[in-house]
Amino acid sequence: MRRALSYTVVGLAVLIWRMWPGLTSIRLPDFPHGYYSNGEWSTHCKVIKHDETFNYCEDAIFWDHLDRSGKLKDRQVLISCDPGRKQWNTVMGPLLDPKPHGGLWVYSPGKGKGKESKPKRLSLKGYPKGHDFHPLGMDIFPSHNGNASNLFVVNHARQRTFVEQFSLAPHEPTEAVWIRTLDSTYFVSPNNIALTSPTSFYVTNDHLMTRRLPKPFGNVLPIMESLLTLPLTWVSHITVNENAKTKSMIVEHAFAAFGIPFSNGIAISPNGKHVAVSSSSLSKVYFYTRDPENNKLTFTHAVPLPFSPDNLMFDDEGILIASGHPHFISLVAVGANKTDAVAPSWVASISPREQLGGKAALSQEYDTLAPVSASTKVRAVPSHEVETLFQSNGSFFSTSATGLRDSKTGALYVTGLYEEGLLVCAP
């Protein structure tokens, strides 16, 4: 009896400890209307809007055009949007109607010279009729000397989640040519992609138990998996064998990392030696060293964040930009289409201390300029320093999902899962 009791107490303690990041974010902190780390937000930040199909964007990536010598010539932004997300969201629910499709967009910041450039929607040439398109995470290989780039996009289709392969050429940047649909039994709930070559990539699986499970399991188990921060998800490495003899041999699968609670975003550092994976339920980013020979990953650090990180990207300097949701309860309310629900945004940089030179000292007093400092929510760690780049209570820009920083111009691009348009802040 006594033993059973002590087991229960220990069990509860572990449970509460595991749920801690979720529990501490019940109270909504006093976020500002807007905050940008490189200037007054109201003059340095603007939201680029188009029409209602350029809403509810999840991922954004840079599409680099390199010249013959490998030098950066042009950099465009590709964006995945799904205005039907409130009817179809296989990660958070609901699963009401998969019919209204999402789309891919290209935005050329350099073009226009003073005139505002407009985002353009890609046509999906050759895309199979009747195949739903709900884009989520994606990645593209840079174009070299004008050649076409391979683009891989996670697609939350009706029956399953697939990865779609497209080809996109700089001379026709608004026409993505569909190549094939990739499927695998290991694609339980693919979320985001990081390319390791033009034909291979890492892909995160955000849940083991998904919304697609039959009722009532699909309504309960994925939520339990998230709330209890169960470490049941993984990162796969996929090689596409374009010359495979049979269809089932096209996708070659290998596990790259296991035991991550709610793995969501993934990114590879510019030198190819580090990989970062966000754990949304644990509010941490996991860092791994990567062996470029065989794509094996070795865990090195976990960095706690003051929000549930969504997508990740490294800038050209190797600093990780994480974007996410500081108040999960409001995000769920927005996703459920509750009247007047608003969810805040938080974007931060995560810099390796060794790279910060003189500023490297570990202090628990950090991120001192942000209206809501990260230091009020998480302790500093020896390996990395966290600094707020953008914050909003959601009235200016809500539900930040991806933050991209262009080290060449300093510009910061942010998507909002349930927001209109694309946020651009520039120093």
Ligand X SMILES: *[C@@H]1O[C@H](CO)[C@@H](O)[C@H](O)[C@H]1NC(C)=O
- For ligand X, the binding residues (CB under 6 A) are 33, 86-87, 144, 147-148, 150, 198, 337, 339, 342, 393-395
Beta carbon nearer to ligand X, 95 or 223: 95
Beta carbon nearer to ligand X, 28 or 227: 28
Beta carbon nearer to ligand X, 284 or 327: 327
Nearest in space to 389 (alpha carbons), one of 40, 31, 37: 37
The nearest distance, CB 3 to ligand X, in angstroms, is 49
Beta carbon nearer to ligand X, 166 or 287: 166
Strand segments, DSSP code E, in 326-399 are 345-352, 384-392
The nearest distance, CB 122 to ligand X, in angstroms, is 17
Beta carbon nearer to ligand X, 150 or 415: 150
Give the pair of three-digit tokens for residue 167: 């080809």
Torsion from C-alpha of 13, 14, 16, 20, nearest 10 degrees: 130
SS3 content of the chain, % helix, strand, coil (to 5): 15, 45, 45
Q: Residue 330 in contact with residue 345, Cβ under 8 Å?
A: no
Neighbours of 41 (CB within 10 A): 21
The nearest distance, CB 336 to ligand X, in angstroms, is 9
Q: Residue 162 in contact with residue 178, Cβ under 8 Å?
A: no
Type of residue numbered 47:
V
The nearest distance, CB 148 to ligand X, in angstroms, is 5
Instruction: Round to whole Å and give the CA distance between 55 and 57.
Output: 6
The nearest distance, CB 144 to ligand X, in angstroms, is 4
Q: What size, in residues, is the chain? A: 427
List, edge to edge, every strand of the sheet that includes 233-240.
Answer: 190-197, 200-205, 233-240, 251-260
Nearest in space to 254 (alpha carbons), one of 203, 298, 182: 203
Beta carbon nearer to ligand X, 52 or 354: 52
Which residues, including other chains, have CB under 8 Å from residue 370's CB and lie 6 or more apart? Answer: 35, 37, 387, 388, 391
The nearest distance, CB 97 to ligand X, in angstroms, is 8
Beta carbon nearer to ligand X, 209 or 331: 331
The nearest distance, CB 313 to ligand X, in angstroms, is 21
